[in-house]
Chains A and B, each alone.
Chain A
Amino acid sequence: MRFYLSTLAGHRRGVLILLGWSMLEGVPAFFSGKLVGTAVDKGFAAGNPLAGVLWLLAFAALAVVGALGQRQVFARLGDVVEPMRDALVTRIVKGVLNDPTHRRTPDASAVAMITRHVEVVRDATAGVLVQARALLVTTIAALIGLATTAAALIWLVVLPIVAALVLFGLMLPSLAKRQRDAVMADERTAEASGAVLTGLRDVAACDASDEAYEDIATQINQQASATITVAWANSLRATVIAIGGFAPIVLLVAFAPPLVASGQLTEGATLAAVVYLTNSVNPALHGLARTTSTVVMRLMVALKRLQEAAPQTRTEVGEEVPSNGEFALRDVTFGWSPDAEPVLRGLSLDLRPGDHLAVVGPSGIGKSTMASLLTGLMPPDNGRVLFGGAPVDLVAPTIRHHAIALIPQETYLFTGTVRENLTLLAPWVTDEDLTEAVKKVGATALLNRLGGLDAALGHAGEGLSAGEAQLLALARVYVTSASVVILDEATSHLDPAAEARVERAFAEREGILVVIAHRLSSALRANRVLVMDGGKPLLGTHENLLKTSPLYGQLMLAWDPTHHEETPLPKR
């Protein structure tokens, strides 16, 4: 909310221009009653139709001026609303992409939800600017107009309106709370039905359609009664505003007769006063009541949801400069939460340039944790991960990002040319280097099929297979100057031969290679193997582990039982 208001304040000039044009829009409200009154008074009632028509034409001319003002207001609305939306979108995108935890990573449907909420904020802001502003301008203009024509009666008019507005203001908090409850009930209904309908298999397996129905029905009923509760509040609000709008009219006609009789109030002035109230003040009051109850609430809910979707961005810190390109892990322990069983326990490991480590273990055991620890994205709970003698998460970000490259399983491809995609991490490399890297990872045929470096890629690597997308991601890292390369199941969609080619290409590159293995064959190519299986990690060469670790033997057996008896030699 604070962010929203400060953004609006940042466009103060736009808002002021908007208000300026509003003055013009208020002109008909200011003169309408007076002109109609005069037309009757001096024209038609006085037996002078020409004057009456002329006064009415003046009324029409002012209506044109007011409409012009309104036109300008809407045309200028874009100058306030669009930059505000731009700022909001920018903040959210940065927030989502900078979120260090990635715990609440939005999927496609969450992104769609973000888009919807941004649109709500945009429309609601425009709605508030239009309605609240119109109320202000119209009411004030009409009241001034009223004061100039029927000054004696002004208090009869102002007091009920002010009282209604004050009462309305007092009711707002409870109205807002009920609206919020209704929105929450709505979301819970969607959640409950979503859970059951995506889990129909499990409902059937548990023979639990009655309980499932009860769970949904409870939320549906709560949602219905929350909606009705809101309606009661809305009804009360509408009544207050309606009374506040109508009471002045009744008071006016009730108190006018003596004034008219004594000549203090002319026929035209009385007519003018009623026209001000019925044509300007009343519609504006109703508009305000409508806006605050629906639009403002939608605005608040959308802003709250957006704030949850995009947390405050965190800037990376760290100024340490590593003294060399070696990794040293000392008694490293890491778990996802203090209560959870650690994924890694007491791991010590040294990695020097030329080293080629394979990390193996059952899927879902947390092998990717190694990637997060080595890239410094997450510090260990206990122990130290040192890069060139400095804790890796405290190494200066520019040095760290250039020295250590990660290729995750999910490929990042964006819409743009193949060249743009390949030079993402090293914008300075030449086309020759790119072609060479593409050749090394075995993607030359792919590049030719795509149509060369200038070919365009669609969203999410549209038209590419998952394996082809991985080849591009591999070439992208191969071409960088990174001295540490971590392949986190980065070859999972390649066939075994292509995978072997890629791993050999990276092994021949200078520096450290860590392969978080999708297939156990990766272990055969490495000069050291780390086995993760929930307990204390096992570290050793392939031959060594075969002799000492029954688990590793089991894993290897599962992979290829023919190698059970005779140990295969690592091919490098």
Chain B
Amino acid sequence: MAKPGDALLFSVVRRDVRPWLLLLNAAVATTAGLLLPTALAGAVDMALGGTFVLVTVLWLLLLAATEIIGDAIGIVLAASITARATAWLRKRLSRHLLALGHPPRFAAGDSVSRLTGDCGNAGSVVVTVMSLIIAAVSSVGSVVALALLDWRLAAVFAVSVPLAMLLVRSHMQLTADDVLAYQEVSGEISARLVDAVAGRHTIAAAGIADRESGRVLQPLPRLAAAGGGMWRTQAKMMWRAGLLLPAVELAVLVAAGFGILQGRLSTGDVLAALGYTALGMGIVGQIPQLTALERTRASATRIAEVLDTPPAPRPTPQPSDGSIELRNVSINGVLHDVSLTIPEGAFAAVVGSSGAGKSTLAAVLGGLSAVDDGDIARDGQVGYAFERPALLGTTIGRSIGYGTDADEIQVRDAAVAAQVHDALIRLPQGYETPLSDAPLSGGEAQRIGLARAIVRDPQVLVLDDATASLDTVTEAKVDKALTTALPGRTRVVVTHRPATAARADVVVWLENGRVRGTGTHAELWDDEDYRAVFTGGE
């Protein structure tokens, strides 16, 4: 049954000539491998004959060398094909996820798992299919070779294959229960550890870490019991698997023995028969590869699901006279019929209790989110700063200049304006400190986020609660520096602080996704509901 990801897998196979090289290489190596037992038989017969025949030994050497070199090339080629295919899929996927943009259509954790896990699985398609083909060809070739030696040998071998299949199936049934129990207990311990970690302050303050460790570890004996059960099950399985090959070997050897007796086979042919038996059984080990192929297809389908999602159309805002104007803007379930105008150069505050739609409105004002309904008119570039900025880029300096070609001086000036320069020069490598090595507090991250908005020198600055972690003194400094660094720009500030709202030219008060009121802070303050926004309702 075709899956949506199959087309993607085909394009992975087709985009490169290497799979064909791998196939060619495999054909040569497998042929050598299939000829090897016969050559070995010939060489042993030669040795038993008591005369050294150079051609026989050279032929053996040539085949062995071909197989060994072929295997070596195969390892590199297979890794290269998988690595390139995986990288190609990952780049395509990340390109598309970035094009889908904000708000994200797929949860971040889900996207990362598609990018790291699924792309890796799908990238291995060529190698998975190839190893199945090689195993099948080897097995069929072995049976043919056995038949060429003596048809009886092939017949004896053919009986053993269904036995092997049966064994693999019963293994899966046997372990299922123990594995389930093991996973359950393991999950239980994890859940207990998560509980205890969440309560770490209580545990640390009460000095009961050891006692609580014991509580977390309580199910451990059950885990050990389930684990022991798994090993015992595997022991049963190994016992049967360990018997299977000798049983088949015994059957083939007896048949070969009678072959010698009746002069059909030479002593060396016994070795050849043993070699082909082992080679022919190789297909049994490939059964898990069928599961791997299914997993590959499922992963490809998950990637295709993302690639087939078209980016939402993002209408460019209509030009305006410098002001920002929203007319009857709605976003399903979040904003309802919002109309408002913010004059050029004005300082507008957006307030409301949590869940009122403040951040969504801020995103709409700057064009970050697409709207379902309504029109927006706006001019010029927008700079955004957030309460919890995701800092991106390789170094601290790059995280400020992210997405721009700002030079060191511009970055530094922006950091000074955002009151974070002093903190950054105290980092281990200053502005060159890798982002992952920089211990940043919430307040520092916020101010770097501010600097990132300032460095773009935008016409409109949207601050989505971007100073929430700063104390009132620092916030006032930032406020003043912003006015100096970016004079006369329109500023939209989402805030929880009455003092900030009081400084604004106009306050937009949101409630359940609608504009409940607009005006100055002083005008709105008379309303008890408005005051409740700041006091939490008491």
Contacts and interface: CB of A to CB of B under 8 A. Distances in A.
Contacts, number: 454
Interface residues of A, number: 165
B176 interface: no
Contacts of A203: 98, 101-102, 392, 403
Interface stretch (A166-174, A322-330, A336-344): A336-344
B389 interface: yes
B340 interface: no
| SS class, residues of chain A in contact with chain B | helix
A52 B258 CA distance: 9
A5 interface: no
A569 interface: no
B356 interface: no
A349 interface: no
Interface string B343-378: 000000000000000000001001010000000000
B341 interface: no
Contacts of B409: none
B104 interface: yes
B199 A410 contact: yes
Interface string A511-531: 000000001010000000000
Interface stretch (A36-44, A350-358, A448-456): A36-44
A25 to B, nearest CB: 9
Interface string B73-103: 1011011101110110011001101110111
B87 A111 contact: no
A416 to B, nearest CB: 8
Interface residues of B, number: 146
Contacts of B195: 412-415, 459-460
Given A246-B68, A413-B199, A63 B246 contact: yes
B441 A340 contact: yes
Nearest to B383: A205
A519 B227 contact: no
Contact of B47 (A59, A86, A204, A253): A253
Contacts of B232: 74-75, 78
A365 B471 contact: yes
Nearest to B392: A199
Contacts of A202: 384, 386, 389-392, 402, 449
B403 A208 contact: yes
Contact of A459 (B192, B208, B386): B192
A212 interface: yes
A141 interface: no
Interface stretch (B5-13, B158-166, B249-257, B328-336): B249-257
Contacts of B390: 195, 198-199, 201-202
Contact of A197 (B108, B257, B537): B108
A226 to B, nearest CB: 9
Looking at B91, B215, B390, which has the most chain A CB atoms within 10 Å of its CB? Answer: B390
Contacts of B116: 186, 189-190, 193
Contacts of B230: 78
Interface stretch (A93-101, A155-163, A540-548): A93-101
A410 to B, nearest CB: 6
Interface string B194-219: 11111111111111111011011100
A404 B242 CA distance: 64
Contacts of A189: 90, 116
A312 interface: no
A340 B48 CA distance: 84
Contact of B46 (A212, A225, A257, A459): A257
Contacts of B366: 205
A474 B113 CA distance: 40
Contact of A533 (B267, B392, B473): B473
A197 B110 CA distance: 10
B218 to A, nearest CB: 9
A189 B321 CA distance: 45
B52 interface: yes
A82 B221 CA distance: 10
Interface stretch (A428-436, A502-510, A554-562): A554-562
B64 A115 contact: no
Contacts of B216: 93, 97
B368 A401 contact: no
A100 B204 contact: yes
A385 interface: no
3 smallest A-B Cβ distances: which pairs?
A: A412-B199, A208-B403, A199-B390
Given A70-B238, A414-B195, 17 more contacts: A56-B253, A63-B242, A90-B217, A119-B186, A196-B94, A202-B402, A204-B101, A205-B384, A206-B452, A213-B94, A215-B392, A227-B79, A405-B206, A414-B215, A415-B191, A521-B538, A560-B538
Interface of B: 40, 43-44, 46-52, 57, 60-61, 64, 67-69, 71-73, 75-76, 78-80, 82-84, 86-87, 90-91, 94-95, 97-99, 101-104, 108, 111-112, 115-116, 186, 189-210, 212-213, 215-217, 220, 223-224, 227-228, 230-232, 234-236, 238-239, 242-243, 246-247, 250, 253-254, 257-258, 260-261, 267, 270-271, 274-275, 278, 363, 366, 368, 382, 384, 386, 389-394, 402-404, 423, 426, 436, 439, 441-443, 449, 452, 456, 468-474, 497-499, 525, 531, 534-538
11 contacts: A71-B238, A72-B235, A85-B223, A111-B197, A193-B111, A202-B386, A217-B94, A235-B73, A256-B48, A260-B49, A460-B195
